[in-house]
Amino acid sequence: MRITTWNVNGLRAALGKGAADWWNREPSHALCLQEIRVRPEQLDAEQRDLVERIHGHAEWHPAERGGYSGVATFTQQTPLASTRGLGIEKFDVEGRMIQTKFPDFTLFNGYFPNGSRDHSRVGYKLEFYAELLEICDALHKEGEQIVICGDFNTCHQEIDLRNHKQNQKTTGFLPEERAWVDTYLQHGFVDAFRELYPEREQYTWWTYRSNARERNIGWRLDYFLVSESLLPLVKDVVTRDDIFGSDHCPVTLELDIE
């Protein structure tokens, strides 16, 4: 089973840059998009076809505010169940989470908040981390296996961004943000990519400024956290930094599940 996560930085813009050419050429069983910034009814017939051509089920969770945030999950097979949001209005109005249940695990497609350049939204961001973990803790207690994917808007370790010394006080690399990733790892999750590639410097986001992508001055913001019990089924985590269409690149988790 292949699951792909991609912050498309505006779905219509990404489609205009040929993003769908890639995901239709190399299809995943589940395609999780973040920062779609569009409602499905705002797409024309051709755009809808590009997105949903190979996916039998589409779950959209756009933000109430136009042109902002939003997530969407597309699957080749109809899942057992889908739930939009965390059940908390201040997060759900921003379209930040879709929960999808499969026979072997529950998939969370999340667009974690940005703490804002002036740090004004760091508290909101950390509360989002806390609320999601509470939901996951309950599922783990029930024996559920979980995959959390998406744009976490946080670099966990120094290896996860090129200029870590210059960004000690930048949101996305603040100690209190990084500590929440540690907390998830203490609650039965594993960072699948870092488990497989402990020393690889690999980024998933690059600012559009200063030719950062060409110079590979980036951040690893897009993750797959999987339940420890799922780790033996992880075949690979592939970062497709050769695929363009957004300031993020897609990342694919390959699971040994039919």
Pick from 86, 191, 183: nearest CA to 148? 191
Pick from 46, 48, 44: nearest CA to 58? 48
The set of residues, in sequence order, having a beta carbon less than 8 Å from that of 170 and lying 6+ positions away, is none
**Cα distances (angstroms) measured from residue 67 to each of 39, 45, 63, 104, 106:** 9, 19, 8, 35, 28
Contact 205, 247 (CB under 8 A): yes
User: Over the range 143-158, which residues count as b (16 or more CB within 10 Å of their CB) and which as e?
Assistant: eebbbbbbbbbbbbee
**Cα distances (angstroms) measured from residue 126 to each of 50, 62, 199:** 35, 21, 27
Catalytic residue of the set 118, 151, 222, 241: 151
Look up 151 and say whether it is catalytic. Answer: yes
- Report the alpha-carbon distance of residue 79 to residue 109 in Å, rounded: 14
Active site residues: 151
